[in-house]
Amino acid sequence: MAQFFKKKGLGVIDILNAVFILFIFIFYLFSLSQNPYSVWPVAVLAFSFSLIWLAVFLRKWLKTGVPKTFWRKLGKIYLDFYPLIFMFVIFESFFMILPYFNPHDYDKELSAIDFRMFGVNPTVWIEQWVRPWLTDLLYLVYFIYYPFPLFILVYLYKKRMFTELDRSIFLLLVVNYGAYITYFFIPAMGPRYYEPLMQLQTKTLNGIFLAVPIRDFIHIFEPNKFDAFPSLHIATSLTTMYIMFKYNKKMFLIFIPLILGIFVAVIYCRFHYVVDVFAGIVWTIVAITVSGRLYDKRIKGRLRPYCKI
Q: DSSP of 55-106, one letter per residue?
A: HHHHHHHHTTT----HHHHHHHHHHHHHHHHHHHHHHTTGGGTHHHH-----
The predicted-structure confidence for 88-97, as pLDDT tens digits, reads as follows: 999 989 999 9
**What DSSP character marks residue 6?**
H
For 1-10, 200-209, 251-260, 262-271, which range has the lowest pLDDT when averaged over its residues? Answer: 1-10
The predicted-structure confidence for 137-193, as pLDDT tens digits, reads as follows: 999 999 999 999 999 999 999 999 999 999 999 999 999 999 999 999 999 999 999
pLDDT of 55 over the 70 cut: yes
DSSP 254-270: HTHHHHHHHHHHHHHTT
DSSP 128-178: GG--HHHHHHHHHHHHHTTTHHHHHHHHHHHTT-HHHHHHHHHHHHHHHHH
Pick the closest to residue 162 from 53, 62, 300 (CA basis). 300
- The predicted model gives 130-142 an average pLDDT of 96
Can you give the pLDDT at residue 127?
A: 95
Are the CB atoms for 198 and 192 separated by under 8 Å? yes
Amino acid at 255: F
Cβ within 8 Å of residue 222, ≥6 positions away: none
**Mean pLDDT (the chain, rounded):** 92
- 149 prior amide bond cis, ω within 30: no
Q: Residue length, the chain? A: 309
3-state secondary structure of 26: helix
Cα 190 to Cα 29: distance, rounded to the nearest angstrom: 27
**What DSSP character marks residue 298?**
I
pLDDT of 3 over the 70 cut: no
The predicted-structure confidence for 215-250, as pLDDT tens digits, reads as follows: 999 988 888 999 999 999 999 999 999 999 999 999
